[in-house]
Amino acid sequence: VLAFRVGNDPSIRPQEGLGAADIVYEEIMDGWTVTRFTALFLESEAKRVRPLRSARLVNLTMVPQYDAALVHTGASDPIRYLISQATFVDLDQYFHPAPYGLLSGYDWRGRMYSSTEGVRDYLKKRGLEREELIEGYTFDPEPPRGEPALSIRIPYPASTVDWTYDQGTGLYLRKASNVAHVDALTGDQIG
């Protein structure tokens, strides 16, 4: 599993590759003004994942749950120290520049990228790619009872995120601050 740290500053949207991830976590950042994502890739691929950003404390508990390799562009000194003591594969761009690249036309928050293929090739060359399967989650075959939810609103302090169920796709489609949140690689709304 590859765990990419992806920025979510409004000025650097739309992101690339976020819609292809198998699982995406959204975390509120320090200062409570912006969120970031940790996009997990196992079976899916993205030719580019951008914009890559720094690791945070949450990654110290999230990444081991998936036995993932953490793909990020640095961290504060205290977080870097804690990551250095962890047992997961840390692909901090500062120490592992090979699978990373820069795109022109973006400021420092939006220009760093990589790809799932580039990271996997790098892991193989370094003897860090694993072939064994991770253990999945166990779900009850009987779905829980509840009320239908056709929309979900998350009122983050600096913006509101809405997920609205689309019967045609069977997905909840994402809007950020009342604007459809799309993946720049596909042009599709994230669902």
pLDDT in tens, 5-47: 999 988 889 999 999 999 999 999 887 888 999 999 999 999 9
pLDDT in tens, 82-97: 999 999 999 999 999 9
Its pTM stands at: 0.93
For residue 157, the model assigns a pLDDT of 87
CB-based contact 109:7 (threshold 8 Å): yes
Report the distance separating Cα 89 and Cα 70, nearest Å: 6
Q: What is the DSSP string of 89-110?
A: EEEETTT--TT-EE-TTS-TTT
Q: How many CB atoms lie within 10 A of CB 174?
A: 22
Q: Is 68's pLDDT higher than 90?
A: yes
CB-based contact 122:91 (threshold 8 Å): yes
- Average of per-residue pLDDT values in the chain: 94
